[in-house]
């Protein structure tokens, strides 16, 4: 979690807006989410250049991503997320993990609310590797006595 200063510039190279953000990383399976949290700005959640409603089509996935802000009772926020890898559900959970870490980076007192919900814990479950002599990770070829 790093606090950085970002300067947005126009074509004429004048500094338009300097804002401080907190950066964090969230992971789930093979999905990785790089999150930037801008406190006290109103922009909602932007994922890979798209709005939250465009990127995640179902209400369930949007609820997963927005759950840290709802539990922490934060109304004004702007969050940009860069997602890569994995499926759509694991991307939503990776984004939730990254957003939770970024919220803790900006205000550590939220840790008591988010930790019991499991939002700060990296889910270690991954796909098991395939072993030689087997068809899948554990499935063996059919055995016949004769």
Q: What is the pLDDT of residue 16?
A: 39
Q: What is the pLDDT of residue 12?
A: 41
Taking alpha carbons only, the member of 22, 20, 19 closest to residue 1 is 22
Which segments of the chain have a pLDDT < 70?
A: 1-19
Query: Exposure of 108 by Cβ count < 10 A (0-12 exposed, 13-18 middle, 19+ buried)?
Result: exposed
**Domains annotated on the chain, with CATH:** 1-7+19-146 (3.30.230.10)
Distance CA 74, CA 87 (A): 28
Distance CA 120, CA 105 (A): 12
Distance CA 131, CA 134 (A): 6
Q: What is the pLDDT of residue 122?
A: 94
pTM over 0.95: no
Q: What is the pLDDT of residue 143?
A: 93
The rounded Cα 30 to chain-centroid distance in angstroms is 12
Q: What is the pLDDT of residue 87?
A: 94
In tens, the pLDDT along 35-77 reads: 999 987 888 899 999 999 999 999 999 999 999 999 999 888 8
| End-to-end Cα, the chain, rounded Å | 61
Dihedral (CA of 67, 39, 1, 49) sign: positive
Q: What is the pLDDT of residue 39?
A: 81
Q: How many residues does the chain have?
A: 146
Distance CA 109, CA 96 (A): 18
Dihedral (CA of 15, 17, 23, 25) sign: negative
């Amino acid at each position: 979690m790093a606090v950085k200063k970002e300067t947005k510039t126009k074509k004429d190279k004048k500094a338009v807006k300097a804002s401080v953000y907190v950066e964090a990383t969230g992971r789930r399976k093979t999905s990785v989410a790089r999150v930037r949290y801008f406190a006290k700005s109103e922009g909602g959640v932007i994922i890979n250049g798209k709005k939250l409603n465009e990127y995640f089509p179902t209400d369930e996935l949007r609820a997963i991503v927005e759950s840290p802000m709802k539990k922490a009772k934060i109304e004004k926020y702007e969050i940009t997320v860069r997602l890569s890898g994995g499926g759509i559900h694991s991307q939503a959970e990776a984004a939730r993990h990254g957003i939770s870490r970024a919220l803790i980076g900006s205000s550590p007192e939220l840790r008591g609310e988010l930790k019991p919900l499991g939002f700060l814990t990296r889910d270690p479950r991954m796909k098991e590797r395939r072993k030689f002599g087997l068809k899948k990770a554990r499935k063996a070829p059919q055995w016949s006595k004769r």
